[in-house]
A and B are shown apart, each in its own frame.
Chain A
């Protein structure tokens, strides 16, 4: 099952835990990545939260397209969670759970997958500052 699921607000550890209760029998490795809203200063202002928006259908289409570039024999199963709406500093907004036969494939796939995801999936983030202003997030 390779899909992206959008969650309103922050993603809880309980929700993530439920996802890891099921697994593929062919997978010897399950690797989880959690992305949080980081405390960062931009132009001397502190980020307190990020608000995310997307077109969910387009994101699923984009993810399906993206997965064509990955060897399905190596990437056995993938789950992606991403927040929509407001997520406060320190809270989890992005989760990847991938399953591979061996740990080597999992550690090889994850970094490129994250980079690809950021570049190819139509999600937009608004960085909210402690003075009530904001700026649209730019992925580096």
Chain B
């Protein structure tokens, strides 16, 4: 399956991108995805962020992902 990952704030520096599409096996959850990002991007595991799945804040990191899900990684907000 394919999912869209979106990065904001400092995470765009860590990943060097704002968005990417990646292929994942069926049945993977957010914990797995986070682990993958920590492996792929130096410094990712040190970052503080909230995760949003299809624009809703994730409360359970064992949530299983589905095809075409949009997962946003957002550091503490700094608007206003």
Contact = CB atoms under 8 A, between A and B. Distances in A.
Nearest to A126: B9
B78 interface: yes
Nearest to A135: B10
A52 B55 contact: no
Interface residues of B, number: 15
Interface stretch (B22-30, B31-39, B69-77): B69-77
A136 B77 contact: no
A82 B55 contact: no
A3 interface: no
A17 interface: no
A137 B78 CA distance: 6
Contacts, number: 61
B9 A124 contact: yes
A125 to B, nearest CB: 5
B79 A54 contact: yes
A91 interface: no
Contacts of A82: 79-80
B44 interface: no
Contacts of B79: 52, 54, 82, 94, 117-118, 121-125, 139
Interface in A82-140: 82, 94, 114, 117-126, 136-139
Interface of B: 6, 8-10, 13, 52, 55, 72, 74-80
19 contacts: A52-B79, A53-B8, A55-B55, A55-B72, A57-B55, A58-B52, A82-B80, A94-B79, A114-B80, A117-B79, A121-B79, A121-B80, A122-B79, A124-B9, A124-B74, A124-B77, A124-B79, A125-B78, A136-B13
